[in-house]
Amino acid sequence: MMTAARGERTSTADGVGMAVLGAAVGWALVSAAGRQAGPEGVLLAVVAVAAGYACGRMSGALVPVGSATAASLALLGLAVFSPEGVPGVNAQSPVEPGDTGAAAALLAVSAGAACCAASAARRPGTRIVLRVLAVGVVGTAVALGSAAGVAASAAVVLCAVAVSGHRRRAAALAGLALVTVSVAAVSWAVAKGALPDGPAEYARTQLTENRVALWRDAVALAEEEPVRGVGPQRFEHLSGTAQRTTGSDGKPHSALFQQTAEQGLVGAGLLAAAYGWLLYGLWRSPRPTPVVLSAAAALTALAVLALLGNALSFAPVTAGAGLLAGLATARPPSPALPRTACGPPTRVA
C-alpha cells in the first residue's frame, strides 16, 4: 500500500510537470507567431530540463548514491574546465556572459547533488567522503574566483547540514519559495526605481548600471506588450541599452525580465510555474526529507542566480537542474523479495 501511494504521488507530480512544460512550449510558439522571433532557445531549454529529469529519475531509482555522485562530479568538471562555466560561451566578450550565471549555477547544482548523495548514503564512511566532496565544490568556487559561486554553493551546503535531521519538508520548501519570491520582488522594484535612494544605490553598485538599464528596457517592452511580449529572442533588437553596449550578448541578464519582455506576463507565469512544479515534485517525493531539501536548496540557489543573471540561457545548466530534480524525486529501489524454500521469491503483503 505504501508503494502504491508513493507511485500515485509521483505520477501526479509528473503530470503537473508535463502540463507546465507543454504549456511553456506552446506559449513560446504563440508568442513567436507572426514575428521574426526565435523560439528555439525556449524549446531547447524545455528539452534539456525534460531530458535531465528523465535521466535523473531512471538513474536515481537504480543507484541513487552513485548517480548523484557522478552528477556532482560531472557538473563540477564542466564548471572548471569549460570557458565561463559552459561550452560555447564567448570568453573574449568584454561583457561578462551571464555575469553571476553559468559557472555559479553549475557549482550550486554540483554541491546540491553531492549533498543529496551524502544524505542518501548509508555507510558513515561514504557519507563523510561525499560531504568532503560538497565542501570541495565550495573550495573550487573560491579557487575559480567566482563570488557568486562561493555564495551559492556555500548556501547549499549549509542548508544541507541544517536539514540533515529534518523531517518536516513543507515548511522548509515554503521558506525556500519565499526566498525566491523576495528576490524577484526586489529585482522588479530595482527595475521600476521603487526602492529608497540608499538601497537603490547599493543595488545599482552590486548589479552594475548596465544591468539595471537592461532591466528597465525589459520592463518598458513588457508594458508595451503585456500579454504576448515582443517575441522570443527579440529583446536584443528592441533594447537601446543592449544595442549601445559593446560586446553585449543581447539578453537582459535575468530570466524573469527576459520572459516578461519577450513572452509577456503569461511567459513569466509559466516560468514561475516551472519552479513551483519542481518544489511540488520534491514535496511529493518518496525520497528521504534531507535528500529532498538538499536538492530544493540547490534549485533555489539556481533560481536566485537566474533572477540576477543568464544562468538559464545555457543548456547544461537547465539539464543539470532537471537531473538534480529527477534524482531527488526518483522512487527508491524496491527491497529484495525473500525467497521460500522452493526457490522463487514471494511477495510479502
What pLDDT does 89 receive?
A: 44
CA–CA distances in Å: residue 107 to residues 64, 115, 126, 179, 333: 20, 12, 21, 19, 28
pLDDT, tens digit, for every residue of 253-275?
999 999 999 999 999 999 999 99
Taking only Cα atoms into account, the Rg of the chain, rounded to an integer number of angstroms, comes to 21
What pLDDT does 333 receive?
A: 64
Cell, residue 168? 518536516
Mean pLDDT of 178-205: 91
pLDDT of 57 above 90? yes
Q: Which residue has the higher pLDDT, 151 or 335?
A: 151
Instruction: Give the Cα separation of 52 and 323 in Å (integer).
Output: 4
Q: Which residue has the higher pLDDT, 86 or 344?
A: 86
pLDDT of 335 above 80? no
pLDDT of 344 above 70? no
pLDDT, tens digit, for every residue of 103-146?
899 999 999 999 999 999 999 999 999 999 999 999 999 998 88
Per-residue H/E/C for the chain: CHHHHHHHHHHHHHHHHHHHHHHHHHHHHHHHCCCCCCCHHHHHHHHHHHHHHHHHHHHHHHCHHHHHHHHHHHHHHHHHHCHHHCCCCCCCCCCCCCCCCHHHHHHHHHHHHHHHHHHHCCCHHHHHHHHHHHHHHHHHHHHHCCHHHHHHHHHHHHHHHHCCCCCCHHHHHHHHHHHHHHHHHHHHHHHHCCCCHHHHHHHHHHHCHHHHHHHHHHHHHHHHCCCCCCCCCCHHHHCHHHHHCCCCCCCCCCHHHHHHHHHHHHHHHHHHHHHHHHHHHHHCCCCCHHHHHHHHHHHHHHHHHHHHCCHHHCHHHHHHHHHHHHHHHCCCCCCCCCECCCCCECCCC
pLDDT-derived band of residue 342, with 50, 70 and 90 as boundaries?
A: very low
What pLDDT does 291 receive?
A: 95
The amino acid at residue 130 is L
Mean pLDDT of 225-253: 87
Mean pLDDT of 20-39: 92
pLDDT of 346 above 50? no
pLDDT of 4 above 70? no
CA–CA distances in Å: residue 48 to residues 44, 108, 275, 311, 319: 6, 18, 15, 13, 5
CA–CA distances in Å: residue 37 to residues 115, 126, 310: 40, 50, 19
What pLDDT does 322 receive?
A: 96
pLDDT, tens digit, for every residue of 80-109?
887 554 544 444 444 444 444 788 999 999
The ranges assigned to domains in the chain are 2-329
Q: Is the pTM of this model over 0.85?
A: yes
Instruction: Give the Cα separation of 269 and 91 in Å (integer).
Output: 32
pLDDT of 65 above 50? yes
CA–CA distances in Å: residue 104 to residues 157, 210, 308: 14, 20, 12
Cell, residue 300? 533555489
